[in-house]
């Protein structure tokens, strides 16, 4: 008899605990701005705002994310601060967060999922993986479709001759995008060519002379620190450059071009 009563108690406790777990919404912390942005896309803005308890610095899209507590200065992490939010899920990035810090989070018994590096060609799969981590397959499928449709819409008509584009992400020293950056892949995908795609680093420093020598058709300046207008004026001196002669120097929003997001696709579409 005693054993039966004990069994009933145990069953009751287990069912109460699981009911509590089902009722408690997840407490999610994201450690890169890109993951936060895609989390909001997959879960939907309202649900994301309920479930996200902490985001990393620069998580500014959708704008409502700015209201969420910043728990990590990107790319450094404040492990203690993250733990203090008692998250049920921490989503980190393999290339943006340091492995030893991820390990520290795991040692604190936090559930950490690490997302692989983003690549333009592999974004649909990346989105589906994030959706599995978030346990939101429907939202993931929809987001991945949006991405694939957006990429398909960027395709140029046949006969388009590829343009050589120089993308400048920093003024001094001059930093551009190399062949392994997602933006270089994006240019390739839309039928254009990154001026420094032969360099293997994602963000190499190059000399001004090298840019003059390669003579790009267009110059895109990513406005990271509000100095893009000054950088553009610096290029205007070099009137023999094709991009300068044809007035094809464009200033781009860093928010649009720093992340592999739907906003990047929209921005690329506008630049066509």
Partner 1 sequence: MKKKYWLAGLALLASVAISLFLRLDFSNAALILRELRLPRALIAIGAGSALAVSGAVMQTVLSNPLAEPYTLGIASGAAFGAAIATTFGWKISFFGLNAGAVLGALAVLVLLLKLVVRGQGRQSDSMILLGIMLSLTCASGLAIWMALADPLGVQSINFWLLGDLSRVGLATALALLGLSLVVSGYFWFFSRKLDAFLFGDDWVEGFGVSYRQTQRIAILLVSILVGFCVSAVGMIGFVGLIIPHLVRRHLRTSLHFHLIPLCFLWGAVALTLGDALAHSIGEPRELPVGAITSLVGAPVFIALFIRRRRGEV
In whole angstroms, how close is the CB of 238 to partner 1 at the nearest point? 6
Binding residue count for partner 1, defined by CB under 8 A: 26
- Does the protein bind partner 1 through residue 62 (CB under 8 A)? no
In 3D space, the residue among 269, 162, 179 whose CA is nearest the CA of residue 217 turns out to be 162
Residue in 2, 67, 109, 213 binding partner 1, rule: CB under 8 A: 213
> Side-chain half-sphere of 37: how many Cα atoms within 13 Å?
19
- Does the protein bind partner 1 through residue 96 (CB under 8 A)? no
In 3D space, the residue among 144, 128, 126, 145 whose CA is nearest the CA of residue 136 turns out to be 128
Q: Which is nearer to partner 1, 127 or 258 (CB)?
A: 258
Q: DSSP letters along 231-267, please?
A: HHHHHHT-TTSHHHHTT-EEEEEHHHHSS-SHHHHHH
In whole angstroms, how close is the CB of 137 to partner 1 at the nearest point? 35
- Does the protein bind partner 1 through residue 212 (CB under 8 A)? yes
Residue in 26, 47, 64, 74 binding partner 1, rule: CB under 8 A: 74
- Does the protein bind partner 1 through residue 205 (CB under 8 A)? yes
Q: Are 220 and 192 in contact (CB under 8 A)?
A: no
In whole angstroms, how close is the CB of 163 to partner 1 at the nearest point? 19
Kindly state the DSSP code that residue 163 receives in the 8-state scheme. Answer: P
In 3D space, the residue among 176, 167, 169 whose CA is nearest the CA of residue 271 turns out to be 167
Q: For binding to partner 1 (CB under 8 A), which residues are involved?
A: 74-75, 170-175, 196, 199, 204-214, 224-225, 237-238, 240
């Amino acid at each position: 008899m005693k054993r039966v009563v004990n069994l009933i108690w145990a069953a009751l406790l287990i069912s109460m605990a699981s009911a509590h777990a089902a009722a408690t919404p997840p407490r999610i912390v994201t450690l890169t701005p890109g993951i936060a942005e895609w989390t909001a896309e997959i879960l939907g803005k309202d649900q994301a705002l309920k479930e996200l308890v902490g985001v990393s610095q620069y998580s500014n899209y959708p704008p409502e994310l700015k209201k969420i507590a910043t728990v990590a200065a990107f790319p450094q992490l404040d492990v203690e601060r993250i733990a203090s939010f008692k998250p049920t899920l921490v989503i980190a990035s393999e290339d943006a967060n340091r492995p030893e810090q991820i390990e520290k989070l795991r040692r604190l018994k936090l559930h950490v999922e690490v997302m692989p590096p983003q690549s333009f060609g592999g974004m649909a799969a990346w989105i589906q993986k994030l959706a599995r981590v978030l346990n939101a397959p429907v939202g993931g499928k929809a987001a991945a479709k949006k991405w694939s449709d957006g990429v398909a819409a960027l395709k140029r008509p046949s006969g388009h001759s590829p343009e050589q584009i120089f993308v400048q992400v920093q003024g001094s020293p001059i930093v551009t995008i190399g062949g392994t950056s997602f933006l270089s892949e994006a240019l390739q995908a839309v039928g254009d060519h990154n001026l420094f795609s032969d360099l293997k680093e994602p963000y190499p420093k190059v000399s001004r002379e090298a840019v003059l020598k390669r003579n790009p058709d267009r110059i895109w300046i990513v406005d990271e620190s509000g100095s893009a207008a000054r950088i553009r004026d610096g290029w205007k001196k070099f009137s023999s450059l094709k991009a300068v002669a044809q007035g094809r120097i464009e200033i781009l929003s860093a928010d649009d071009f720093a992340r592999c997001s739907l906003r990047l696709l929209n921005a690329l579409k506008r630049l066509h």
